[in-house]
Structure 1
């Protein structure tokens, strides 16, 4: 177990935060620091065909050790961390034999990881947890996934008695800003299907995710001295507020779950002359997804009609861009790849938790690029913030699942 801890900590202590405002790939130069380390590590453990391209996409091969034809499978994780919370100077804390009580992450700042609020902690009594020190995120999303893939490949190399077909692995930058699969060369990867190791708690197995779009609505206004503004001033901030209030009540992230979609306003800035509202649109159902986008257009048109005479042109301009789609459409025709993962979990003593992803992964985009790619747990909790943690035993179980999938895929039919 110490080998797993050491490997994981060696990854998370390298800052790889991505930047949504960057136009380069990777979006931050510091992602190269871990990428180049991974390349050398993959070579050291004995993988073949280890490559890294000019955008930091890493691929490698574990050759087949059977003398009959079996599918080529892949395992994929990302090495960037979320820009939602700082990933600089990560100082992991190892909590052995967790007793089920409060964990003081930072006594100076009174930051406590408590099962009274984070009830999932109680599942891990007696296990070894790795937490933050309360000042950064941890990076288990998705450096736990990388740890699992590298360690599983190392284990298969060291245990040639375990039979498997050709396995390809891939590590990507910029997943956290929605670009992880943008430059992924599916043809070069050459797998029949793959799995992203990027889920949360033990047992998660996901092949449904949101359809996703982002919207930016710009509202114009006219600034006039407030003492003489009657019939002249148009305050764009108030129009932006009118738009937000026109969105359906109760359809926000904090009030939805399961298959329920939402609108999420995540950025609002403005002055009298111009205000900008940015939001994301999410729904598992494609028809409902399209209706949500149409509603944005409808509200915008209604506002434009209201101010047409006074403003003289469109006062609200909406830009809506699709981001990714529900992978279910691409995975269902090859549902056996989900069945294999489910069987693998059961054989290593895990109860599969098959549920929709309330988000997206590289796998959703890769599935639409021709590489069906369900998502498997990586073990972490409370991603993208200071309360993030991962049980080491969960990482170990994910390693066992990878090994078992490789074994099951190589059974002679």
Structure 2
């Protein structure tokens, strides 16, 4: 299985599909559509039906149940979701993976020409994988295990089912979505009539054993400030400097309630961008909290601080726009749907995997899909150090991730 997973992973990372948050269209890059088209071809060969790529490059399809006739209606349909894009962290868009066979420990030279190394002293997590085959990038880009490890996982799981008809399963739906790294834009463009499942899973977190069904409630705010420009020789009592107003606005927030000062389930407001000139300024905020009530209170704080700055600069024109990005998966859990989370722990127990349950300080496509009435928890790909050139993927961990997918399908089919 490791060989098949590696072949699929290399096939999909060969398609450059880095998203671009500066674009407003979905998909934000054409590479994501090319990857969707390649996947559609692969899934057609595996016997999936109702395969469709939407105008937004959301690829959906179905592997029909092979259960005895009387059982089909009794087994819930399940979905699996992965995203097509890799993240843009201002590294190279093209990915050039390399495999280190039977890693023996020590530093890994990712790129001799550029002098790029993955240092064991800086990444002691490497030591867990001595003797294993590990995939790295060439150090100039991310590896793309986020989320092409999941893409390979799902396809190999479907391939396994297609080749072994004795493995019984209910209806399985897949959704491959673009622009997850740009605020879950692709998931928000899903046509859920093409994804009629009782529950679903994303495969979009890191090391072996990770389970996520708690994510942030997330929002963004854009504050636009229009000042009054004037020549310095006649500026007294006239000029309103929007840049200084923006700085004063940013300084109203608690400096201990920022990403660099919080962890665990502690939320924050992040002043993540500020641009301006003598006439206008814009401040961009991210608002995050696991607790819904606290999240709403943080949004209220933003509004209150806008009002304070408006009073301080009465001649300025200040506009604030706050949008919710995604919700906490945990808020969608109830007694009726919790079984899909229980399946994860049962599968791990049967596969001998130790669970590492975390409250994610971020979100997945499942954070949005769960708000649409389809509970969508998340489990591991096996990768490490997402969103950096230090990302790596131990192949035995990826194999365990794929075995998780197959085990979940087996457990669901048993009812």
Normalising by structure 1, we get a TM-score of: 0.94
Q: Indicate which of 136, 142, 147 corresponds to 2:147.
A: 142
> Within 2, Cα distance between the matches of 1:282 and 1:180?
20
After the TM superposition, which residues 144-293 of structure 1 pair with which residues of structure 2 at under 5 Å, given as runs?
A: 144-178=149-183, 179-226=185-232, 229-293=235-299
Question: Offset at 1:100?
Answer: 2.9
| SS of residue matched to 1:366 | helix
| SS of residue matched to 2:208 | coil
> Within 1, Cα distance between the matches of 2:352 and 2:31?
39
Please name the residue that 1:383 is paired with.
Answer: 386
Deviations 1:108-146, CA, capped at 9 Å, x for gaps: 333222232233323222222111111112211111000
Please name the residue that 1:330 is paired with.
Answer: 332
> Within 2, Cα distance between the matches of 1:112 and 1:128?
17
Q: Indicate which of 70, 78, 103 corresponds to 2:108.
A: 103
Alpha-carbon spacing, 1:116–1:252, altered in 2? closer, same or farther (3 Å): farther
**Contact map agreement 1:46 1:154 (CA 8 A) in 2:** no
**Contact map agreement 1:81 1:87 (CA 8 A) in 2:** no
> Within 1, Cα distance between the matches of 2:211 and 2:175?
19
Question: Offset at 1:86?
Answer: 4.1
**Contact map agreement 1:331 1:373 (CA 8 A) in 2:** no
Question: Offset at 1:51?
Answer: 2.5
Q: Does 1:295 align with 2:296?
A: no
Alpha-carbon spacing, 1:252–1:100, altered in 2? closer, same or farther (3 Å): farther
> Within 1, Cα distance between the matches of 2:373 and 2:198?
9
**Contact map agreement 1:87 1:138 (CA 8 A) in 2:** no
**Structure 1 portions without partners, runs of 5+:** none
Please name the residue that 1:60 is paired with.
Answer: 61
Please name the residue that 1:80 is paired with.
Answer: 85
Question: Offset at 1:87?
Answer: 5.3
Alpha-carbon spacing, 1:49–1:228, altered in 2? closer, same or farther (3 Å): closer
> Within 2, Cα distance between the matches of 1:245 and 1:105?
41
**Contact map agreement 2:27 2:186 (CA 8 A) in 1:** no
Please name the residue that 1:4 is paired with.
Answer: 5
Q: Does 1:29 align with 2:34?
A: no
| SS of residue matched to 1:15 | coil
**Contact map agreement 1:85 1:137 (CA 8 A) in 2:** no
**Contact map agreement 1:186 1:370 (CA 8 A) in 2:** no
> Within 1, Cα distance between the matches of 2:232 and 2:111?
48
Deviations 1:90-111, CA, capped at 9 Å, x for gaps: 1111112222321122233332
Deviations 1:51-102, CA, capped at 9 Å, x for gaps: 2223222122222222213111111101111223345321111112222321
Please name the residue that 1:363 is paired with.
Answer: 366
Question: Offset at 1:194?
Answer: 0.6
Question: Offset at 1:31?
Answer: 1.4
> Within 2, Cα distance between the matches of 1:292 and 1:379?
34
> Within 1, Cα distance between the matches of 2:239 and 2:114?
46
Alpha-carbon spacing, 1:227–1:109, altered in 2? closer, same or farther (3 Å): farther
Would you say how many aligned residue pairs link Structure 1 and Structure 2? 408
> Within 1, Cα distance between the matches of 2:272 and 2:111?
28
**Contact map agreement 2:26 2:186 (CA 8 A) in 1:** no
Question: Offset at 1:20?
Answer: 2.4
Question: Offset at 1:267?
Answer: 1.4
> Within 1, Cα distance between the matches of 2:268 and 2:109?
34
> Within 2, Cα distance between the matches of 1:268 and 1:122?
41
**Structure 2 portions without partners, runs of 5+:** none
Question: Offset at 1:351?
Answer: 0.7
**Contact map agreement 1:263 1:280 (CA 8 A) in 2:** yes
Please name the residue that 1:20 is paired with.
Answer: 21
| SS of residue matched to 2:211 | strand
Normalising by structure 2, we get a TM-score of: 0.93
> Within 2, Cα distance between the matches of 1:227 and 1:132?
56
- Higher alpha-carbon deviation: 212-221 or 142-151: 212-221
